[in-house]
Structure 1
Amino acid sequence: MPRTKKIHALKRPKLRQSWSKFNLYNLSRVTTPPAANKTFFQQKWLAKSMLRSYHNPDVREGTWTRMFDRRLPAVVPMDHRYLAKYDGSEMASGRGMGVDKRPQKDARGNEVRGPEKTPYMHMTFHPLERRLDTAIFRALFASSTREARQFVVHGWVKVNGKKMIYPGYQLNPGDMFQVDPERVLYATGARKIKKDRAESSQELRRKAEEKAAKKEKAEEDRAVGAAVEEEADDGKVEITAEEEDSATDSGKAYSKELKALLKRATNILDDSKRDLSGKRQQELRNFRKDVKSTFSKLRGMEESDLQETTETFETALAEILTKVPTDVDLPKNEQRAAAESPSTEPLPSNPQLQNKPTLDIHRARKDAELLQAALERARANPVDTSKPYATPWTPRDYMSAFAFIPRYLEVNQNICSAVYLRHPVARPGLAEVPTPFHAETMALGFNWYLRRR
């Protein structure tokens, strides 16, 4: 869609089944259209236009008209004790139909006066929820119905184990559909800014905002220093080296990470020297030497190289510490004390406490466990420039506002598959067809398709 169309589309809010930021803005300002100066025909036509712009506009109007059903599915809560007592013959004697008449309760647990109304009109477009492309969008496997339609046409979707290339396929209760996981990661993940780089546009935007904030803070510090310089007797206040680095050095964040790694390796080497083998000690010393030699090259390195270097050092330290033994020959009471000790703070400078092997082993084991978990996360979500989406994978912007799954779908995000359990229905206080429009707008649209004009 051209940029100009997006801008002009904001003048009149038209909602789409999409995770776009423009769609989210339109969603925040959609209202019930005024009906004071319009005829009933005009009200129905305007409501129909608004509803069809959201509920899968890729389906032709003639196709949808043939799919339209004036019978709106709904369910009534029934009392199981009543159903067990009677067999249905009592309906002729006027005893009712087994409707559950227990008092309703709201979200806070307070009783609500009278039974909740069933939003029948929200079920107007329930036949469209059976379509395969709509079900893929509802299951959060695509960022829009058009993208879901593209996945189906290109052969990335299977229904009951067989490839399905028809987006209008009508799902039946019990059907299982599956989308290729790589397509799902691409559809729901952050976009890459360049083909040969792993960063996303939102990551670069976040870094630019942080850099601008640091620059603004440095300018404020300079202004404060100038004011102090004018007021002080000696007239000189120098900017510290740390403030100067924050304003000039773009790799300060990565420098902090490298310093933290160096400090961690030094602490482990000093505190657990007696429990580490000579080979492990040599590996830790070489690791410290490599990190120290990297500090002199930070200013001349690009940001992508800095990130890759930091991740390489993190992985190297994690692999070294995974080889640290977790069990040693200690008395049982000392092992129990080490396991129950909640403290992970640095040891004090008292040499008598530093000589205790129990605390040293506990600290080394905790560091090894934390870095092992970090290594597992890095392996599960690695940096890969060959992927069409940004890595490590992060959800795209504005996804959380649309992240909900209807009740009639059972979704497994691990294998990107879902089961269409049943057809959507309406029940007291709830309609299972998601829609952002008011019940009045839905009723007008339903009356339009009844063809009673």
Structure 2
Amino acid sequence: MARRFHGLKRPKVRQDWSRETLYNLSRLTTPPAHTKTFFQQKWMAKSLARGYHNPYVREGQWTRLFDRRLPAVVSMNHQYLAKYDGSEMARGRGMGVEKESISRRRGEDGETGVAAAGPFRDGDQVQRQYDGRVQKTPYMHMTFHPLERRLDTAIWRALFSSSVKQARQFVVHGWVRVNGKKMIYPSYQLNPGDLFSVEPERVMFATGARKKKRSSALSAQDDAEEDDRESSRSAQKTKEQELEERTDEEQGEGSDAGAATLESDEEREAMTTKPEDEADARKAMKNLVLRAKRILEDSKRKLSGKRQQELRAFAQSVRKTMSKHRPNDSAALAEEDGVEAFETALAEIMTKIPDDDLPTESTSTTQAQTTASAISNDPKLRDPDRVDNYNAQKDAALLAAALARARENPIDISKPYATPWHPRQFMSAFAFIPRYLEVNQRVCSAVYLRHPVARPGLAEVPTPFSAETMGLAFNWYLRRR
């Protein structure tokens, strides 16, 4: 194995999820053959194919696994099987009667590509009649089919690891079981019907985003996304400021009215923003108290007395915390108590409220559209109390949905992967499962159904190389030594 595993000068594809592999896949082409001898063509094709198909297997070990008999199957048409029993394939043999030519039978029968009816009917022609155009079987793509039986390759094919090397690590460290027993040998040959499973925590580590630091729950991917959001926000603010300046220059004295409208918009936005989006800790706490008050007033008839007491106690505790610190000392307020603790407390209270009492996201969206259209059409319905009630229901629904997502995917600094969990970068380009595996992602287990085979128009051994490259690699190992 080369010391530099990923190279960009020569596009060599590897069995892993990385940006280098994705870039090399986009540049992969069939090597030119007009300037090279047949030996050089075979050697180059062999090096490319072995660099992808489990290069951690030693060359001597692979040559012992190599089999010149490539497994393949032929799909039979059900109409043909229902009409014929197979005796027509051997009819007329050994009777001293020669078969008629296909061209003569075409003229007698009047059909193109169909054998004439009679005792000398060709079974291949009958099969071709029902199958239509016969597709070629890509036998050469099955060159490395013995490697697909290996346990480490099967783990990577089942999307339980981000590379074959990581799959080998899982096996050696004892995180893999085959048929309920621990297996520590990556070269174990799977048989049809074998069940292999990987520890779910290891699978989440392998397929989840990487952590930026051990003491942080975020990843570098999160930082990049946050930078993109900040750049888009700054660009949008710049456009808004330019638009405001133009408006002020055009309207002149009407700028005071515009400022008043802007203040009301900012207040309305402060009422609807989430606490974690607030820059000032004191404003965030005021927002929490306002949310709890709205939820309490809106659902007073539906909530039990105990839930109402908890909401009142929560608002009172937030007020006491705010009274301990000075109005200008928001940094100390955020460091000592923190907004996240109060937000978590409010979320815990909301979990105790039955789901029937809270509107769902779809219901809140429908209510928002209905309320907005009614208020805009009928001036009598422009009641601020009704709007506040609707906003309270919407806040409660959003809070309940966010809490449900937080329970399913919590933030945990002790995990070796970034939390909340999200897929690893570049994973979607490699996310496919072969036909010979049956995978259950919920329990991180898979069944090796059968050995991979080639069928007309399809080879079940996934490979990024062309049939010409795989054929040359097969010929390299086919030679006698």
TM tier relative to shorter chain: 0.7 to 0.9
Contact 1:271–1:354 at 8 Å: present in 2 too?
A: no
Q: Which has the larger radius of gyration?
A: 2
Aligned mate of 1:17, from 15, 18, 21: 15
Distance in 2 (CA, whole Å) between partners of 1:152 and 1:168 is 10
Aligned-partner residue type, residue 343 of structure 1: Q
Aligned mate of 1:43, from 30, 34, 41: 41
Aligned mate of 1:201, from 217, 220, 223: 220
Residue 273 of structure 2 is aligned to residue 275 of structure 1: no
How is 1:280-299 mapped onto 2 (pairs within 5 angstroms)? 280-288=307-315
Residue 425 of structure 2 is aligned to residue 397 of structure 1: yes
Aligned mate of 1:321, from 331, 334, 353: 353
Contact 1:265–1:284 at 8 Å: present in 2 too?
A: yes
Aligned-partner residue type, residue 77 of structure 1: S
The Cα of 1:193 is off from its aligned counterpart by 1.1
Contact 1:118–1:429 at 8 Å: present in 2 too?
A: yes
Aligned-partner residue type, residue 353 of structure 2: L
- More displaced stretch, 15-24 vs 269-278: 269-278
> Deviation digits for residues 186-206 of structure 1, max 9, x if unmatched?
110011111122112211221
Residue 281 of structure 2 is aligned to residue 254 of structure 1: no
- More displaced stretch, 167-176 vs 92-101: 92-101
Contact 1:254–1:310 at 8 Å: present in 2 too?
A: no
Aligned-partner residue type, residue 11 of structure 1: K
Aligned mate of 2:170, from 137, 151, 157: 151
More helix by percentage? 2
Contact 1:77–1:100 at 8 Å: present in 2 too?
A: no
Distance in 1 (CA, whole Å) between partners of 2:429 and 2:317 is 45
Contact 2:149–2:190 at 8 Å: present in 1 too?
A: yes
Distance in 2 (CA, whole Å) between partners of 1:163 and 1:213 is 50
Distance in 2 (CA, whole Å) between partners of 1:275 and 1:150 is 55
Aligned-partner residue type, residue 69 of structure 2: R
Distance in 1 (CA, whole Å) between partners of 2:278 and 2:185 is 53
Distance in 1 (CA, whole Å) between partners of 2:301 and 2:413 is 42
- Label 1:227 to 1:353 Cα distance change in 2 as closer, same or farther (>3 A): closer
State, as a whole percentage, how many aligned pairs show the same letter.
58
Partner in structure 2 of residue 213 of structure 1: 232
Q: What number of residue pairs does the alignment pair up? A: 417
Distance in 2 (CA, whole Å) between partners of 1:301 and 1:24 is 47
- Label 1:87 to 1:219 Cα distance change in 2 as closer, same or farther (>3 A): closer
How is 1:49-448 mapped onto 2 (pairs within 5 angstroms)? 49-80=47-78, 82-83=80-81, 88-93=86-91, 95-96=122-123, 99=127, 101-103=129-131, 114-219=133-238, 254-255=277-278, 265-288=292-315, 308-309=340-341, 312=344, 315-322=347-354, 326=357, 343=367, 350=381, 371-448=399-476
The Cα of 1:224 is off from its aligned counterpart by 6.3
The Cα of 1:277 is off from its aligned counterpart by 3.8
- Label 1:302 to 1:53 Cα distance change in 2 as closer, same or farther (>3 A): farther
The Cα of 1:286 is off from its aligned counterpart by 4.2
- Label 1:81 to 1:231 Cα distance change in 2 as closer, same or farther (>3 A): closer
Partner in structure 1 of residue 24 of structure 2: 26
> Deviation digits for residues 276-334 of structure 1, max 9, x if unmatched?
3444334334445666777987767889x979458625623522533x8749xxxxxxx
Distance in 2 (CA, whole Å) between partners of 1:354 and 1:437 is 67
Contact 2:42–2:473 at 8 Å: present in 1 too?
A: yes
* TM-score for both structures, normalised by structure 1: 0.77
- More displaced stretch, 417-426 vs 31-40: 31-40
SS at match of 1:102: helix
SS at match of 2:439: strand
SS at match of 1:178: strand
> Deviation digits for residues 233-266 of structure 1, max 9, x if unmatched?
79x99997899xx9xxxx9962299688666544
- More displaced stretch, 167-176 vs 266-275: 266-275
The Cα of 1:70 is off from its aligned counterpart by 1.3
Distance in 2 (CA, whole Å) between partners of 1:311 and 1:389 is 24
Aligned-partner residue type, residue 182 of structure 2: K
SS at match of 1:343: helix
SS at match of 2:170: helix
SS at match of 2:367: coil
Distance in 2 (CA, whole Å) between partners of 1:363 and 1:209 is 30
- More displaced stretch, 260-269 vs 400-409: 260-269
Partner in structure 2 of residue 331 of structure 1: none
- Label 1:101 to 1:183 Cα distance change in 2 as closer, same or farther (>3 A): farther
Contact 2:454–2:460 at 8 Å: present in 1 too?
A: yes
- More displaced stretch, 23-32 vs 206-215: 206-215
SS at match of 1:321: coil
Contact 2:303–2:353 at 8 Å: present in 1 too?
A: no
Contact 1:284–1:320 at 8 Å: present in 2 too?
A: no
Distance in 2 (CA, whole Å) between partners of 1:429 and 1:70 is 20
Distance in 2 (CA, whole Å) between partners of 1:26 and 1:284 is 57
Aligned-partner residue type, residue 9 of structure 2: K
Distance in 2 (CA, whole Å) between partners of 1:129 and 1:302 is 55
The Cα of 1:43 is off from its aligned counterpart by 1.2
- Ranges in structure 1 where 5+ consecutive residues have no aligned partner: 105-113, 328-338
The Cα of 1:69 is off from its aligned counterpart by 1.1
The Cα of 1:78 is off from its aligned counterpart by 1.5
Distance in 1 (CA, whole Å) between partners of 2:237 and 2:383 is 44
- Label 1:307 to 1:142 Cα distance change in 2 as closer, same or farther (>3 A): farther
The Cα of 1:268 is off from its aligned counterpart by 3.1
> Deviation digits for residues 384-426 of structure 1, max 9, x if unmatched?
1111111111111010000000000000111111000000011
Aligned-partner residue type, residue 301 of structure 2: R
Aligned-partner residue type, residue 74 of structure 2: V
